[in-house]
Structure 1
Amino acid sequence: MEVTLVKKCFIFLLSLCLIAGLAGCGGTSEKAANTDGKLKVAVSFDAMREFVQAVGGDKVSIIEIIPDGTEPHEFQPTAKRMKLLHDANVFVMQGLGMEPWAEAMIKAADNPKLVVVEAGTGVSAITNTDEDEIKEHGQYDPHAWLSPSCAQIEVQNIADGLAKADPKNAGYYQANAKAYKEQLQALQNEYTQKFSALPHKDFVTGHAAFAYLCRDFGLEQKSVESVFAAGEPTTNQMKELVDYCRDNHVKTIFSEELVSPKTSETLAREVGAKVQPIHTMESSEGGATYLDRMKENLQRIYESLQ
């Protein structure tokens, strides 16, 4: 079956599911019941929540579509999750193919006042090269939020979207966005200087989520799994990774919270390396902020390359 036909079938079924779910609401909604005056913002996953909170401050009430602890690439929306868009003023998503279900969900929500923000709009997108991934997920690597420079673009897009939905507080959103972007830029400046002084630029991670971060700092990732954390490496791919780690004296293999560490642990044992966590900000991971986790990522990568 062609991918486009599969997508159309998915959209149709999703629409039916949401229509049925809304019919059982009895005509009441969280939007109507919301009397605190805050802008009701639905977000796809944790990094979007962080950016919205930084920009929206105490003017917004945030709901996550993807439940915390769920791998976004594997998420399938339920009727209960889909209702959240029907009740929202704004929906913030990453875009670039990160939320393949979003188009159908927005259409089925039947919410003409919903302001949709694709945070990744305007980012210089990195193109996928794997034909199977392009067929299944689209032509772009979606992980732009893991780059401090791209994150600044995303924060500005979010500020513009919140201002559109809530013009009376536009100045507040823009001021918050400016302050947050300055923090992101300061972090980028600090580690641009640190990484530039290192002779080695390659690090090894569980899944290939850090291409945008690598572009920011002149680094290169070697990964156990693909951009979409799908499948396991072949015997030949694993041998190449083992040889690479041995030849380059790699002592750290990074692993993400929502991706199985099994293959990373196997690789680490084979080459005598340690496994260390690295954050993708797809889940809250204990409540640390985006800036704290990004700095921790950069510092751990920096230390692994020394």
Structure 2
Amino acid sequence: MLKRWAGLLLCLILAASLAACGGNNTAGNPTDTPAATGTPSGSADQTATPAADKIKVSVTFNAMKEFVAAVGQDKVEISTIIPDGTEPHDFEPKAQDLVALSAAKVFVYSGLGMEAWADKAVQAANNPDLVTVEASKGGTPITNTDPGEIEEHGQYDPHIWLSLKGAELEVKNIKDGLVQADPANKDFYEKNCGDFVAQLEKLYNDYNEKFQSVTKKSFVTGHAAFAYLCRDFSLTQNSVEDTFAEGEPSAQKLTELVDYCKQNDVKTIFVEDMVSPAVSQTLAGEVGATVETIYTIESGEDDMTYLDRMTDNLTRIYDSLTK
């Protein structure tokens, strides 16, 4: 561990040097975001912000980018550290990934152990003006109990952004960070935050009513990422991540999964975009279920916004419970 953080420190020293030589260079997936994602047009100030005046915001992965874009709209320039298509849980930053931190005004990460390297990266960035936002701060975490989940994610389940209530919390914390970095535009950020939260609340209310009306309350998914969503709507996820993500299941494990699906009348097996669907398809064939993709919003997917993907997730889960 000491060697790892020593290496990270050297990487950040190099990153600072690169930033000093390269001016406004950014790393990861730099994205100049002129408009909010999923936010109604006509909100707040419509005057275009010159590129030189945009607030540079470095974020860890796609969901954080979506939330910053919703609040900051054209007043922010966003760089994403973890590239699309990269599994965030396994990501370890290299020097070039962290160059943006040296020049950024705001750094946004989700927290709850999702980005175990974040604190050390901030310390090593040597950027005294950097406003750091732990977007999940103030939330009520779900404690991991499964040994495999504890080994992979730590004490807490980090997937809070997949809860609409969790998203509200993260968006509000991000708004506070942008206001701290750019107080002159406080009203702009407050307005955009309010608009986005209103959309989250409407989506929650629409589906809360639907989920209250169904008898079945459990669904099957590969990655154990939906505990916060389940908490929102009093649902239960049954994760078979150890089977879906790691090769072929044993005969005993497959039998247990088949029995579970039959006992709970499971008609849909959900699989995430970065997990092989092979075992899902085997299980589905055994129980007469279909295999459908569900979004974890860790990478950009299908050119859809956060609200689009959450609506799709909720629709698919609801439909699976009514079959």
Say whether the fold is shared (TM-score over 0.5). yes
Residue 225 to residue 155, structure 1, CA distance change in 2 (3 Å): same
Per the alignment, residue 289 of structure 1 pairs with 305
Equivalent position to 2:112, from 84, 90, 96 = 96
1:173-252 matches, cutoff 5 A: 173-225=189-241, 231=246, 235-252=251-268
Displacement of 1:36 after TM fit?
A: 2.0
Does the alignment pair 1:144 with 2:138?
no
Does the alignment pair 1:19 with 2:9?
no
SS at match of 2:136: coil
- Give the whole-Å Cα distance in 2 for the aligned partners of 1:106 and 1:234: 43
Gaps of 5+ in 1: 1-5
Coordinate RMSD, CA, aligned: 2.0
Per the alignment, residue 59 of structure 2 pairs with 43
Q: Percent identity?
A: 54
Structure 1's consecutive aligned runs of 4 or more residues displaced over 6 angstroms after TM superposition are none
Question: TM-score under structure 1 normalisation?
Answer: 0.91
- Give the whole-Å Cα distance in 2 for the aligned partners of 1:235 and 1:64: 42
- Give the whole-Å Cα distance in 2 for the aligned partners of 1:26 and 1:121: 32
8 Å CA contact 1:257, 1:278 repeated in 2:
yes
Displacement of 1:73 after TM fit?
A: 0.8
Does the alignment pair 1:298 with 2:292?
no
Residue 26 to residue 50, structure 1, CA distance change in 2 (3 Å): closer
- Give the whole-Å Cα distance in 2 for the aligned partners of 1:294 and 1:151: 11
8 Å CA contact 2:56, 2:78 repeated in 1:
yes
8 Å CA contact 2:131, 2:181 repeated in 1:
yes
Question: TM-score under structure 2 normalisation?
Answer: 0.87
2:292 maps to a residue whose letter is: Q
- Give the whole-Å Cα distance in 2 for the aligned partners of 1:12 and 1:235: 44
Gaps of 5+ in 2: 27-49
Does the alignment pair 1:269 with 2:263?
no
1:181 maps to a residue whose letter is: V
The worse-fitting range, judged by mean Cα deviation, of 87-96 and 134-143 is 134-143
Total equivalences in the alignment: 297
Displacement of 1:268 after TM fit?
A: 1.3
Does the alignment pair 1:165 with 2:181?
yes
Residue 136 to residue 206, structure 1, CA distance change in 2 (3 Å): closer
SS at match of 1:276: strand
SS at match of 1:96: coil
Displacement of 1:260 after TM fit?
A: 2.2
Residue 28 to residue 97, structure 1, CA distance change in 2 (3 Å): same
